[in-house]
Chain A
Amino acid sequence: GQQVMQIPQYQHVQEGEDFTTYCNSSTTLSNIQWYKQRPGGHPVFLIQLVKSGEVKKQKRLTFQFGEAKKNSSLHITATQTTDVGTYFCAGARDFGNEKLTFGTGTRLTIIP
């Protein structure tokens, strides 16, 4: 079955440093989504990427979808304490298959 892996599993950074998490799928994806889950909370949608090579920015967050549509990355510039949480990517194989397969997640902690 489809597998979506993320690395690293954990990341501890000093406040103000940059952070990147990588997402790799075993199969080609029709689209990829990113979610953030705060400690004790529920996943919240951040963004969706559809096109090969697509790059989207949200303030300090930059999202990229690989050319082969099998990998993606999330980069946070100058992390802040509010960035704490677990970041999940989620992919769907095709437009007819609606099941979102979530990645293993990257837990980000910030050292003030």
Chain B
Amino acid sequence: NAGVMQNPRHLVRRRGQEARLRCSPMKGHSHVYWYRQLPEEGLKFMVYLQKENIIDESGMPKERFSAEFPKEGPSILRIQQVVRGDSAAYFCASSLATGVAEAFFGQGTRLTVV
């Protein structure tokens, strides 16, 4: 049973380009979370999704950032017109059930904006 798969592991983008980060949850998991981590800092919640639904996007910047989790395929975190401040590690996590299930994290995508 493969774990949470994120790709790419490393992504370099020039300012103004788009970044697409993919996350395939563990088999059977329908709950996906995206977190952002700056160097030497904690995990900041961005968005929580279930299949085809955004449940909580209170941590997402209002502009340039969007997320989806389609019926088929991976969850996508999309950052348009990236700026240097978007450079961070983006972690995806998935869980099995509602409420108290543990979250399994992917290895993250390290985004560098140059």
Binding site for B on A (CB under 8 A): 1, 30-31, 33, 35, 41-45, 48, 50, 88, 90, 92, 94-105
Nearest to B91 among chain A residues (CB) is A42
The answer to whether B102 and A43 have CB atoms under 8 Å apart is: no
Q: Mark B11-44, 1 if CB is under 8 A from A, else 0.
A: 0000000000000000000010101000001111
* Interface CB pairs A-B, < 8 A, 11: A33-B103, A35-B105, A43-B91, A43-B93, A90-B103, A92-B100, A95-B99, A95-B100, A98-B55, A98-B56, A102-B42
Q: How many residues of B contact A (CB 8 A)?
A: 25
The answer to whether A45 and B99 have CB atoms under 8 Å apart is: no
Q: Considering the chains assembled together, what is the distance between the CA atoms of A34 and B77 in angstroms?
A: 25
Closest 4 pairs between A and B when the two form their complex, measured CB to CB: A95-B99, A102-B43, A45-B102, A42-B105
Min Cβ gap A100→B in Å is 6
| Given contacts A1-B58, A95-B99, A101 and B45 within 8 Å (CB-CB) | yes
The answer to whether A98 and B42 have CB atoms under 8 Å apart is: no
Given contact pairs A96-B98, A103-B42, enumerate 10 new A-B contacts (beta carbons under 8 Å).
A30-B99, A43-B93, A43-B105, A45-B104, A48-B100, A48-B102, A95-B99, A98-B95, A100-B33, A101-B45
Min Cβ gap A108→B in Å is 14
- What DSSP secondary structure best describes chain B's contact surface? strand
The answer to whether A42 and B106 have CB atoms under 8 Å apart is: yes
The answer to whether B100 and A31 have CB atoms under 8 Å apart is: yes
Q: Considering the chains assembled together, what is the distance between the CA atoms of A97 and B48 in angstroms?
A: 10
The answer to whether B105 and A44 have CB atoms under 8 Å apart is: yes
The answer to whether B107 and A50 have CB atoms under 8 Å apart is: no
The answer to whether A88 and B42 have CB atoms under 8 Å apart is: yes
* Chain A positions within 8 Å of B45 at CB level: 99-102
Min Cβ gap B85→A in Å is 20
Nearest to A94 among chain B residues (CB) is B99
Nearest to B4 among chain A residues (CB) is A42
Nearest to B56 among chain A residues (CB) is A99
